[in-house]
Amino acid sequence: MLDHLGGIFDRARAAARATTLNVGTFGSLAPWLFPALEELLDGVIVNQVTDHGDRLVEWVGEGSLDAAFVAIANQMRLPATVSAVPVASDRLARLTPAALSVKGGRRPFAGLDVVAYTYDMSTDTLHQRLSELGARPRTAATAETAVRMARLLGCPAVLPRGLGLAYAQEGERVTTMSIPGRLTLFMVTRRPAPQAFAAVVRRLPGHLGLQRAGRPAPRSRDEGPPHA
């Protein structure tokens, strides 16, 4: 019993000495971001928070969050107390279920439902563009929801390429689309940024399967899931 109690006290003291950071992101990125931070922030305990990007940025400004990873920092008015650093970039892509064939031409989605998800504020613009391509756009709340709905309905899903590759199963195709615009993932922190995040900006894109911010996006092509 004494040994057991001694172990509890040792663990409690170690936890008290450990650095704890409160980090937020949106729901679709959380399953990939938080495990990556667990690996990159060695010896740091990360308290995980998920919510909409504008709320997360507001909480960073108030000081209740140490950092937020969001894609809308360039589409909103940031609090004066924070800074936003571009971390990674991505493009929209089409995930096509294995049994579905999509036509070519100027209206490749003619007569098709298309489930759409994007993590910035361009949903309305995306729906307009999909309509121009012949689609009946349908909004999904998360990337995983978009993929599951596409499989259920037997229709394409349009979502950020990195998330499409993460969720794609064998036989499904992920094709980078020529829809204008680039998605940028930002790290928003108070000034100055916590020192623990210095290396994260450089190494995080590789852990998320994304391009580092400022690098060219991949050319349009069909890609299978990572394990295919």
Q: Considering the domain boundaries, does residue 226 fall inside one?
A: no
Q: Considering the domain boundaries, does residue 192 fall inside one?
A: yes
Tokens linked to 122: 């361009």
> Which pLDDT score is estimated for 145?
97
CATH of the domain at 165: 3.40.190.10
pLDDT in tens, 74-90: 999 999 999 999 999 99
Do 199 and 122 fall within a single domain? no
Q: Considering the domain boundaries, does residue 199 fall inside one?
A: yes
**Any alpha helices (H) in 81-226, and if so which ranges?**
123-132, 143-153, 161-167, 200-208
Mean pLDDT score, 191-199? 85
Helix axes 30-40, 200-208, angle to 10 degrees: 130
- The whole-angstrom separation of Cα 175 and Cα 109 is 14
Do 43 and 71 fall within a single domain? yes
**H helices, E strands: number in the chain:** 7, 12
Q: What are phi and psi of 101, to 5 degrees?
A: -115, 130
Q: What does pTM read for this prediction?
A: 0.83
- The whole-angstrom separation of Cα 86 and Cα 69 is 10
Three-state SS at 59: helix
Do 132 and 161 fall within a single domain? yes
> Which pLDDT score is estimated for 220?
40
| Domain end residue (candidates: 161, 176, 191) | 176
- Starting from the edge strand earliest in sequence, which strands make up the sheet with 173-176, in order? 136-139, 113-116, 157-160, 92-96, 173-176, 222-223
Predicted confidence (pLDDT) at residue 115 exceeds the cutoff of 70: yes
Q: Which domain holds residue 8?
A: 2-87+182-215
Do 6 and 80 fall within a single domain? yes
Do 81 and 98 fall within a single domain? no
Are 12 and 32 spatial neighbours (Cβ–Cβ below 8 Å)?
no
Three-state SS at 119: coil
pLDDT in tens, 201-227: 889 999 999 999 865 444 444 555 443
> What confidence category does residue 22 fall into, taking pLDDT thresholds of 50, 70 and 90?
very high
Predicted confidence (pLDDT) at residue 228 exceeds the cutoff of 50: no
- The whole-angstrom separation of Cα 84 and Cα 87 is 9
- Starting from the edge strand earliest in sequence, which strands make up the sheet with 67-70, in order? 44-50, 19-25, 67-70, 183-190, 82-90, 211-212
The DSSP element (H or E) to which 175 belongs, if any, is strand 173-176
Q: What are phi and psi of 205, to 5 degrees?
A: -55, -40
